[in-house]
Structure 1
Amino acid sequence: MKCPICGKPAEPRYRPFCSKRCADIDLGRWMSGSYRIPADETEPPENPPREE
């Protein structure tokens, strides 16, 4: 398994990363919002109008 940050072989102690440095880089990216899942900003109404 390769480290997702730098591509070096993963160390069991820091798996899936190769070092604490790469693990900290990944954590920083999560906390800063660099990792996002695109979403549609418009939300459907909770109770759509009923058709009679």
Structure 2
Amino acid sequence: MLSLALLCAILAFIFLALAIKSSFILWIIGTISFAVLGVIFLGIDIFRKQNSRR
């Protein structure tokens, strides 16, 4: 899950760079969606680690 979060973060940065370069709304939507996915995967990873400690 952590690797998926890192992948989403990298993709979000790529989309953000493309959005700054060309300023399309589509790139901005892609950046936001990958950033949200990355946060979700990171949250799932942290939640699993906390549950495994109990």
Task: Give the TM-score of the pair, scaled to structure 2.
Answer: 0.33
Greater RCO, CA 8 A, separation 6+: 2
Give the structure with the higher percent helix.
Answer: 2
Task: Give the TM-score of the pair, scaled to structure 1.
Answer: 0.34
